[in-house]
């Protein structure tokens, strides 16, 4: 069976996760593709950060790095496809950042957080005027994480 160059190219693109629309957009941008974003959030206390992100929100610690013992911590945490970097280094970021994190299970996640009984956050699920359901929590360092069922709205 003979295949046209176009059908072979389309199959190869699909195998690499590219749809024809994404491939066209990449060509328009000169071959550039942009991927996932990994925000860096400023933290000041390792114990409080782990209590909030791991104990309360349910992230897991992927790795930790210090240049030497007693030096500031830089670590990666994740929950499913969401990856965050947390840093005690003063030059990496400023406290008070705001993130929107998409999840198809925002109602269930809200129930889990309420049931956890974390003393320093009482998340509320809100119907937003633009049609999404959002739940915001602020970490001990002033960073606001908004979990939403829709980033595009």
E strands, 1-153, in order: 40-42, 60-65, 74-79, 82-87, 98-102, 125-127, 133-138, 144-148
Comparing CA positions, the residue from 93, 95, 75 lying closest to residue 85 is 75
Which pTM does this prediction carry? 0.78
Superfamily of domain 40-148: 2,3-Dihydroxybiphenyl 1,2-Dioxygenase, domain 1 (3.10.180.10)
CB atoms inside a 10 Å sphere around CB 75? 20
| Structure tokens, 69 | 């013992």
Domain chopping of the chain, boundaries: 1-35, 40-148
Q: Find how far residue 101's CA is from the centre of its chain.
A: 5
What is the rounded distance in angstroms from the CA atom of residue 29 to the CA atom of residue 17? 17
**pLDDT tens series, the chain, 153 aa:** 444 444 444 455 555 555 666 666 666 667 778 888 999 999 999 999 999 999 999 999 999 999 999 999 999 999 999 999 999 999 999 999 999 999 999 999 999 999 999 999 999 999 999 999 999 999 999 999 999 998 765
Q: Which residues of 52-61 are buried (b: 16+ CB within 10 A; e: fewer)?
A: bbeebbebee
Sheet strands side by side (includes 98-102): 98-102, 144-148, 133-138, 125-127
Helices first, then strands: H and E counts in the chain: 4, 8
């Amino acid at each position: 069976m003979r295949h046209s160059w176009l059908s072979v190219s389309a199959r190869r693109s699909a195998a690499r996760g590219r749809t024809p629309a994404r491939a066209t957009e990449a060509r328009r941008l000169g071959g550039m593709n942009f991927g996932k974003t990994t925000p860096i959030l400023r933290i000041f206390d390792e114990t409080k950060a782990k209590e909030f992100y791991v104990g309360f929100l349910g992230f897991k610690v992927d790795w930790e790095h210090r240049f030497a013992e007693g030096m500031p911590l830089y670590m990666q945490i994740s929950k499913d496809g969401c990856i965050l970097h947390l840093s005690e280094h003063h030059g990496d970021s400023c406290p008070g950042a705001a993130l929107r994190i998409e999840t198809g299970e925002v109602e269930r996640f809200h129930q889990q957080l309420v049931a956890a009984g974390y003393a320093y956050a009482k998340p509320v699920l809100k119907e937003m005027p633009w049609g999404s359901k959002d739940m915001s929590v602020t970490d001990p360092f002033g960073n606001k994480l908004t979990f939403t069922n829709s980033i595009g709205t």
